Structure 1
Amino acid sequence: MLHWIANSRSGFVALLMAACIVAVAIYALPALLAWSMGSPHRMAIALVDLLLGWTILGWIAALIWAVMSGNGGSFDEDPPPRREPWMR
């Protein structure tokens, strides 16, 4: 199988496409974590990741922000219910 990937044009294209998919998934990791953890700042984290993620510091900042602003539990827990200000 490695011979097919290394010595053919279609193998190279398949390997290049797989590498691009993995790179996009890693690039979008902070935004995906923010959405999956129910962060209240998920849109801002996604924007920081989109606009500044190409810099390593921007990507790390977005990742830390996404992890720290989650719902405080695991991925499978529901976020706490939101209460409207007038319900207090």
Structure 2
Amino acid sequence: MGSFSIMHWLILLVVLIPLAALYCLPTIIAVVKKHPNVLPIVLINLLLGWSGIAWVGALIWSLMPGTPADGGRNLG
């Protein structure tokens, strides 16, 4: 009774992988959208996301359109 069976490990993985993906959602969105502020979003998500408020802030920031570094002058 004291050992984990294969079924326990599978259930653990089925729960942990989606939770980890949900926790990293702001980072995933920022990377996929090629947000100009990827690094700050990643750092806030990883270091402060556990607080909930910072996670929501990182999520909102990752969903906002980023401004290009050149001020939008390079439209080519």
Name the TM tier (shorter chain): 0.7 to 0.9
- For 1:33-84, what per-residue CA distance to the aligned partner results, in whole angstroms no more than 9, with x for missing partners? 001011100011000000011111011000000001358xxxxxxxx8x76x
Normalising by the residue count of structure 2, what TM-score does the alignment of the two structures yield?
0.77
What are structure 2's unaligned runs of at least 5 residues? none
Match of residue 63, structure 2, among 59, 63, 67: 67
Q: Which structure has more RCO (C-alpha within 8 Å, separation ≥ 6)?
A: 2
Please say which structure displays the higher CA radius of gyration.
Answer: 1
Q: Which runs of 4+ in 1 moved over 4 A?
A: none
- RMSD of aligned Cα (Å): 2.3
What are structure 1's unaligned runs of at least 5 residues? 1-7, 72-79
Give the distance between the partners of 1:21 and 1:28, measured in 2 at CA. Answer: 11
Indicate the residue corresponding to 2:42 in structure 1: 46
Counterpart amino acid of residue 43 in structure 1: L
Normalising by the residue count of structure 1, what TM-score does the alignment of the two structures yield?
0.67
- For this pair of structures, how many residues does the alignment match? 68
